[in-house]
Structure 1
Amino acid sequence: MKNLFLTSVFLVATLSISAQNKNVQKETETVVTTVKDSKGEKKIVKTVETKEVQNVELEMSEQKGINIPMKEEAKVDVTKTTKVKVDGETKYVDVDRSAYYNSENGKKYQIIQKGNGYTMLNPSQNEAGVLRKTSNNNYIYRSDDRVSFGYFDADGNLILETFDYKNDKITMEKFVVQR
């Protein structure tokens, strides 16, 4: 029993010491503003949280030893979340993705902010579907005929991934933002 306990403690200790495969940097900036008007004082607290996540990639994966240099051009995912608190009421403000998007089949769609997400309008200005934000900064797209997983890439384009039951595949559809 004692050996089993010591072995499990040793395994837990060595697993927790292992190297991380991601560089994560979090930065929080808080600005407090007090506004006086005829109704009294209002305290506005604006918090901007920036999170940068970079996968650790090595320049030469076959190289043995320690101190192997990292790739400099490894992709960095940056997520900014703005939280505004006015008199105790908290609101989250994200990047507004409302714009016109061109689909791969040449149709022009409009995404507008509505309620707690976005609504996608087809070329005839009818509702094609809705986008709802998930807890990990992605979106669930729901329309009459499908439910998809969506996200915005670094260029601001909307990518929808849909599972195709018949072919047992995931299909990707890209909507390119108009600038």
Structure 2
Amino acid sequence: MKNLISIAFLLLVTFSLQAQNKNVLKETETKTTTVKNSEGEKKIVTTNETEEVQNIQLEEAKPNTLNIPMKESPVMVTKTTELSVDGKTKYVDVDHSAYYMNNGTKYQFKTDDYGYSIINNNSKKNSYLRKTSNNNYLFVNDGKVSSAYFDADGNLIIDTYNEKTDRITTEKFMVAK
């Protein structure tokens, strides 16, 4: 019985120490906007949440000291946006709605219920971006499906597999500034 209690206590201490090895900082900013037009009044609530997680790593302990200095370690930052229009809520990690340029053509990316609709300068909806479970996107255009992601500069990078050549081609949509 003593051994069972000792093992349970040891496991409890071990798991409680593992839960304390991260620094987490969460910031939430809420902005409410009311838009009046001919259709009526719409209330738009935007909630931006930024979470910074840093794994705690300690330097080597020095003899005869109580405190151990913390090593510098990378901070993982996740930003999410919750957009609520008249009570209908939609989550967006980072809103990439903007104008993009590709091969001299200007495209507009607009958020929709499932990701983004891509409209060229002829006001024709011809492509879609759909978010996957690993924070990438599927790019759907003229019946072809490609893998896509946004780089650190906010540009859209599209990787398409070509069966004939057995190669992947990369296309870049640059943010129009």
Corresponding residue SS for 2:144: coil
Q: CA 1:2 to 1:80, structure 2 compared with 1: closer, same or farther past 3 Å? A: same
Query: After superposition, what is the alpha-carbon deviation per residue over 1:109-140, rounded to whole angstroms, capped at 9, x for unaligned?
Result: 62431632323357988766310235776433
Q: CA 1:114 to 1:45, structure 2 compared with 1: closer, same or farther past 3 Å? A: closer
Corresponding residue SS for 1:68: coil
Q: Structure 1 unaligned segments of length 5 or more: list them.
A: 36-41
Matched, 1:146 2:145: yes
Q: Which residue of 1 aligns with 2:69?
A: 67
Q: Partner letter of residue 145 of structure 1? A: K
Following the alignment from structure 1 to structure 2, what is the Cα–Cα distance between the partners of residues 177 and 14? 48
Following the alignment from structure 2 to structure 1, what is the Cα–Cα distance between the partners of residues 34 and 24? 33
Matched, 1:10 2:6: no
Counterpart mapping for 1:1-179 below 5 A: 7=7, 10-11=10-11, 13-18=13-18, 23-30=23-30, 44=43, 46-56=45-55, 64-65=60-61, 66-70=68-72, 74=74, 77-84=77-84, 86=86, 89-92=87-90, 94=92, 95-102=95-102, 106=103, 108=105, 110-113=107-110, 115-116=112-113, 117-120=115-118, 129-134=127-132, 138-143=136-141, 144-148=143-147, 150-160=148-158, 173-179=171-177
Following the alignment from structure 1 to structure 2, what is the Cα–Cα distance between the partners of residues 2 and 50? 47
Corresponding residue SS for 1:67: coil
Q: CA 1:111 to 1:10, structure 2 compared with 1: closer, same or farther past 3 Å? A: farther
Q: CA 1:125 to 1:25, structure 2 compared with 1: closer, same or farther past 3 Å? A: same
Following the alignment from structure 1 to structure 2, what is the Cα–Cα distance between the partners of residues 100 and 14? 51
Contact 2:23-2:56 at 8 Å conserved across structures: no
Following the alignment from structure 1 to structure 2, what is the Cα–Cα distance between the partners of residues 126 and 34? 30
Contact 1:151-1:160 at 8 Å conserved across structures: yes
Contact 1:30-1:45 at 8 Å conserved across structures: no
Corresponding residue SS for 1:156: coil
Q: Partner letter of residue 28 of structure 2? A: T
Contact 1:22-1:53 at 8 Å conserved across structures: no
Following the alignment from structure 2 to structure 1, what is the Cα–Cα distance between the partners of residues 152 and 50? 15
* Superposition deviation, residue 158 in structure 1: 1.6
Root-mean-square deviation (CA), in Å? 4.9
Aligned residue pairs total 162
Contact 1:108-1:122 at 8 Å conserved across structures: yes
* Superposition deviation, residue 160 in structure 1: 3.8
Q: Partner letter of residue 145 of structure 2? A: R
TM-score, structure 2 normalization: 0.56
